[in-house]
Amino acid sequence: MRCSEILPAGSWDRSRECDVFSADYEGRHRRRMMLDLRSGERMLLDLEHARLLRTGEGLLLEDGRVVRVEAQEEDLLEVTGHDTLHLLRMAWHLGNRHLPAMIEEKRILIRNDHVIADMVRGLGGHIHTVRAPFDPETGAYSSGHGDSHTHDHKHSHEHGDGHHHHH
């Protein structure tokens, strides 16, 4: 079995589903590799570029069948604040560090990172370890295809009003 095309979530007929590929965040960021499916079968993922496979997307097989992508539960950090404005401020700080983040109404989920956890605590936020599927925002630089943040980091990020940061 081979897949070279990804079908966006909600765009394919679920009756064509023949299997499920379930993996954590790292395991879903791929270009070309053999994938172990829930049934025990294996398939070749053969994409032009590496990208994050997102929950609900379909891996279109050569025979027209579809393998559904599912985010597996993993250990994450749950960021919460005192109120919505406080959570928004923490979201700004997390985004300023270009971290993958899954934004929900009352919390932000990020990958486990003790330095970032200390930063959140320093901002007055609350950190809890949770197990949950991680399907982060795609970001402005993803070309709408779930790719990771990939722009040239040789430039400075001028944001006006004297604010800038460097990589």
Within a domain: residue 151?
no
Q: Tokens 């980091």 — which residue? A: 153
Within a domain: residue 81?
yes
Within a domain: residue 166?
no
| 70: three-class secondary structure by DSSP | strand
Domain co-membership, 11 together with 62? yes
How many domains are there within the chain?
Answer: 2
Q: Is this model's pTM higher than 0.85 or not?
A: no
Tell me the backbone φ, ψ of residue 152, rounded to 5 degrees: -65, 115
Determine the structural domain holding residue 22 and report its residue range. 2-71
Domain co-membership, 38 together with 98? no
pLDDT in tens, 12-50: 999 999 999 999 999 999 999 999 999 999 999 999 999
3-state helix, strand, coil in the chain (%, to 5): 15, 40, 40
pLDDT in tens, 127-141: 999 999 999 988 655
